[in-house]
Amino acid sequence: MLHVENHIDNHKESGMDHLRNNICNSCITTENVRESHVLVLYTGGTIGMIRNENGVLVPKPNAFVKKLRNYPHMYDREYTEKRFGSMGPLVLPMTATDSRRVIYNVLEYSPLCDSSNMTMDDWIHIANDIKQSYEYFDGFIVLHGTDTLSYTASALSFMLESLGKIVILTGSQVPIFDSRSDGLDNFLSSLIIAANHNIPEVCVFFGTNLMRGNRTCKISATSFEAFDSPNFPLLAKANINIEVNYRTIFRPCTLEKFYVHTSLNRNVGLIRIFPSMTTDLVKTFLQPPIEGVVLQSYGTGNVPSNREDIIKELSAATKRGVIIVNITQCSTGHVSNLYEPSKFLYDAGIISGFDMTPEAALTKLAYVLSKEEWDMQTKLEMMQTNLRGELTAGRPPHLEDLDLVEAVARSLKISSTTEYQELGSILFPAMLNAAVRSRDIIKLEALKTYGADISQQNADGRTALHIACCEGDLNIVRCLLRMGANVHIKDRFNRTPLTDAIEFDHHEIIKILIQCGAHLHGNACIIGEKMCIAATTGNVKRLKSYQLANAILSQKDFSGRTPLHFAALHNRTQVIKFLMEYNVDMICFDKMNQSPYDLAIAVGSTEAAILLSPPK
Mean pLDDT of 40-47: 97
Domain boundary among 352, 384, 416: 384
Give pLDDT, residue 34: 86
Among 138-152, 170-184, 413-427, 551-565, the least confident range: 413-427
| Mean pLDDT of the region 160-164 | 97
Q: How confident is the model at residue 608 (pLDDT cuts 50, 70, 90)?
A: very high
**pLDDT-derived band at 1, boundaries 50, 70, 90:** very low
Query: Do 248 and 301 belong together in one domain?
Result: no
CA 281, CA 269: separation in Å to the nearest integer? 13
Write the CATH number for 281: 3.40.50.40
Amino acid at 124: I
pTM beyond 0.85, yes or no = yes
Round the average pLDDT of the chain to a whole number and report it. Answer: 91
What per-residue confidence (pLDDT) applies to 595? 96
Return the higher-pLDDT residue of 274 and 83. Answer: 274
Active-site residue, selected from the candidate residues 43, 46, 216, 463: 46
**538 and 511 within one domain:** no
Q: Residue 197 carries which side chain, given as an amino acid letter?
A: H
Within a domain: residue 448? yes
Work out the pLDDT band at 252, boundaries 50, 70, 90.
confident
Higher pLDDT, 414 or 458: 458
What is the structure's pLDDT at 533?
A: 98
Pairing of strands 259-260, 160-161: antiparallel
For residue 6, is it within any domain? Answer: no
Confidence band, pLDDT 50/70/90 cuts, at residue 53: confident
| Feature table: binding site for substrate | 115, 146-147
Give me the catalytic one of 30, 95, 97, 146. 146
Between CA 498 and CA 513 the distance in angstroms is 7
Given a cut of 60, whether residue 396 has pLDDT beyond it is no
Highest average pLDDT, of 5-14, 59-68, 496-505, comes from 496-505
Instruction: Say yes or no to pLDDT of 270 above 80.
Output: yes
**Given a cut of 50, is residue 395 above it in pLDDT?**
yes
Per the CB < 8 A criterion, the answer to whether 369 and 311 are in contact is no
Domain hosting residue 31, numbered range: 13-254
| Cis peptide bond N-terminal to 289, omega within 30 | yes
Q: Does one domain contain both 575 and 478?
A: no
CATH value at residue 160 = 3.40.50.1170
**Whether pLDDT at 251 is above 80:** yes
- Give DSSP secondary structure letters for 85-144: -TT--EEPPP-TT-SSEEEEEEEEESS---GGG--HHHHHHHHHHHHHHGGG-SEEEEE-
Query: Do 246 and 133 belong together in one domain?
Result: yes
Rounded mean pLDDT, 445-469: 92
pLDDT, mean of residues 578-590: 95
Sequence-separated (6 or more) residues with CB below 8 Å from residue 372 = 263
Render 390-443 in DSSP notation, one character per residue.
----SSPPP--SS-HHHHHHHHTT--SHHHHHHHHHHHHHHHHHHHHHTT-HHH
Report the share of the chain in percent with pLDDT over 70. Answer: 89
Decide if 197 contacts 244 (C-beta within 8 A): yes
pLDDT (0 to 100) of residue 10:
37
With 90 as the cut, is the pLDDT of residue 415 above it? Answer: no
Q: What is the pLDDT of residues 317-338, one digit of tens each?
A: 999 999 999 999 999 999 987 6
Q: 338 or 346: which carries more pLDDT confidence?
A: 346
Is 329 in the same domain as 350? yes
User: Of 190, 222, 254, which one is at a domain's C-terminal end?
Assistant: 254
Confidence of residue 5 (pLDDT cuts 50, 70, 90): low
In a domain, 2, yes or no: no
- pLDDT at position 8, please? 35
Instruction: Please check whether residues 28 and 102 belong to one and the same domain.
Output: yes
Reference 214, options 203, 206, 228; nearest CA is: 203
Q: Note the pLDDT of residue 358.
A: 98
- Would you say 554 and 585 are in contact if contact means Cβ atoms under 8 Å apart? yes
Task: Please indicate, yes or no, if residue 23 is contained in any of the structural domains.
Answer: yes
Asked whether residue 156 carries a pLDDT value surpassing 70, the answer given is yes
Residues 6+ apart with CB under 8 A from 532: 557, 561, 562, 563, 565, 566
Do 456 and 528 belong together in one domain? no
Which among 564, 611, 615 has a CA at the least distance from the CA of 590? 564
| Residue 286 sits in the same domain as residue 195 | no
Q: What is the pLDDT of residue 603?
A: 95
What is the structure's pLDDT at 101? 92
Residue 394 lies in a domain: no
- pLDDT for residue 3: 53
C-alpha separations of 262 from 120, 122, 160, 259, 370 in Å: 10, 11, 9, 9, 9
Query: In the structure, what pLDDT confidence band is assigned to residue 591 with cuts at 50, 70 and 90?
Result: very high
Of these ranges, 140-149, 242-251, 303-312, the one predicted with the greatest mean pLDDT is 140-149
What is the reported pLDDT for 394?
63
Q: H/E element holding 450?
A: none
Is 395 among the domain residues?
Answer: no
Average pLDDT over residues 22-35: 58
Q: Which band of pLDDT confidence, cut at 50, 70 and 90, is reported for residue 54?
A: confident
Q: DSSP letter at 250?
A: -
Judge contact between 516 and 528, C-beta under 8 A.
Answer: no
In Å, what is the CA distance from 99 to each residue of 192, 391, 409? 10, 34, 27
> If we measure between CA atoms, which residue out of 581, 582, 586, 572 comes closest to residue 550?
582
Choose the weakest-confidence range: 244-258, 276-290, 373-387, 471-485: 244-258
The enclosing domain of 560 has a CATH number of 1.25.40.20
Three-class DSSP category at 238: strand
Least confident of 325-339, 357-371, 553-567: 325-339
State yes or no: is 46 an active-site residue.
yes
What pLDDT does 403 receive? 60
Is the model's pLDDT at 27 over the cut of 50?
Answer: no
Q: Would you call 254 exposed, middle or buried from its count of C-beta atoms within 10 A (0-12, 13-18, 19+)?
A: exposed
User: How many structural domains is the chain composed of?
Assistant: 4
Calculate Rg over the CA atoms of the chain.
27
d(CA 91, CA 76): 6
Least confident of 79-88, 224-233, 305-314: 79-88
Residues 483 and 537 in one domain: no
Stretch 426-448: mean pLDDT: 91
- How much is the pLDDT for 78? 92
Q: What's the pLDDT at 449?
A: 84
Whether 14 has a pLDDT exceeding 60, the answer reads no
Percent of the chain with pLDDT over 90: 78
